[in-house]
Amino acid sequence: MIENFGKNIARLRKNAGYSQQELAEKIAVQKQTISNIERGTRYPTFETLEKFAKVFHATPIQLFGTEKEIAVSDIPEVLDRIDEYDQKVQNILRVSHFFNEFSPEALTRINEQIQAIQNFFFAQPQVDEDGVPSTDQNGEVIMRPSTFSRVPLDELDQIVKTIPLLEDFFFPQPVLEEGEAVIDKEGNVLRNPSRFSQIPLDQLEKTVQYIDTIKQNKKIL
């Protein structure tokens, strides 16, 4: 076992990126001592051995084991890394699949929507005409309050009350019996058509025209 110590220290040192001089300073010995240990012409004291273990966070097998013993002891760590990188690869594949499903135009719209949400709910840096953040006398970036923080509470209450009405109007709602959703034979929730989908197209067009007319003449009205 002790005959493996020198080459294992050399391997651990190189993996850690230390020179013999740097390792000697960490262990509090002379550079020549490190050289002699790595060449197998000298062996560490118990005190020096403990310092080696602490510097490299090494196990006894990593310090005294053969190459095969070290390889076997490293299997759990290797498997953990495989799992970690497998998850990262899966994430990359999911992102790739996401981008393949959407056109550049659609991705641009999604980005604009995300930016709009961020601008609405979170404070944003105040920028000049060139897009450079403005700073105060202390060099701190000046932040603009979020749009959400400036909405009066009574308006927020009205929005909260309106959202369920909009959902009920624009989206299909579950079919209920005695307050419970009805499930079909395949396990899917049965839904009623949305009220919006039941409005004739020509009626929608007329409604849009009426709204445009009102907007254009709101000052007169």
Cα-based distances in Å from 32 to 5, 39, 51, 60: 16, 10, 17, 24
CB atoms near residue 115 (< 10 Å): 11
Q: What is the DSSP letter of 196?
A: G
Per-residue DSSP letters for 45-79?
-HHHHHHHHHHHT--HHHHH--HHHHHHHTHHHHH
Which tens digits make up the pLDDT trace of 92-135?
666 666 666 667 787 788 788 888 888 777 888 888 888 788 88
Q: Are 189 and 181 in contact (CB under 8 A)?
A: yes
Most confident of 22-36, 65-79, 84-98, 184-198: 22-36
| 205, two tokens | 């067009």
| Max CA distance (Å), the chain | 102
- With pLDDT > 90 as the criterion, what percentage of the chain qualifies? 10
- Whether the predicted model's global pTM rises above the 0.75 cut: no
In this predicted structure, what is the pLDDT of residue 86?
63
pLDDT at 79 over 60: no
Confidence of residue 22 (pLDDT cuts 50, 70, 90): very high
Say which CATH superfamily domain 2-65 falls into: lambda repressor-like DNA-binding domains (1.10.260.40)
pLDDT at 51 over 80: yes
Q: Map out the domains of the chain as residue ranges.
A: 2-65, 103-127+142-150, 152-216
Lowest mean pLDDT among 44-48, 188-192, 206-210: 206-210
Confidence of residue 70 (pLDDT cuts 50, 70, 90): confident
Query: Buried (b) or exposed (e) across 188-207, using 16+ Cβ within 10 A?
Result: eeeeeeeeeeeeeeeeeeee
Confidence of residue 218 (pLDDT cuts 50, 70, 90): low
Rounded mean pLDDT, 37-64: 86
